[in-house]
Amino acid sequence: MPAYVIGHISVKDPDKWAAYRERVPETLEPWDAELVFRGERAAVLSGSHAYTDTVVIRFPDLAAVDGWYESPAYQALIPLRHQAADVVLVSYQSGV
């Protein structure tokens, strides 16, 4: 069953964020993951949302999500991510 990682992002350092974004796709390849959406917030239609950007990544299953996140390749990027942006990553399993 497909699983998704949704990231809510507030960029602190655009140059470091660009460097991080450039390196993430190579960490996804071994897990058959696909970038579904990356974009900037247009409007908050209801409630409040502190983040300016969102990313959605599709994985074959939750095991692939966990494998990707814990992989040495992705773990090596986390210090750069912390410097570049405030990021909340949440995984979801598709119910459809």
pLDDT by residue (tens digit) across 6-48? 999 999 999 999 999 999 999 999 999 999 999 999 999 999 9
- Give the confidence band of 76 by pLDDT, cuts at 50, 70, 90: very high
Domain residue extents for the chain: 3-93
- Quote the CA–CA distance of 48 and 64 in Å, as a whole number: 31
Does the domain at 3-93 match CATH 1.10.150.130? Answer given as no
- Alpha helices (H) along the chain: 14-28, 62-70, 72-75, 78-84
Mean pLDDT in residue range 67-74: 98
Q: State the pTM of this model.
A: 0.92
Residue 94: the pLDDT is 84
Mean pLDDT in residue range 62-66: 98
- Quote the CA–CA distance of 72 and 16 in Å, as a whole number: 20
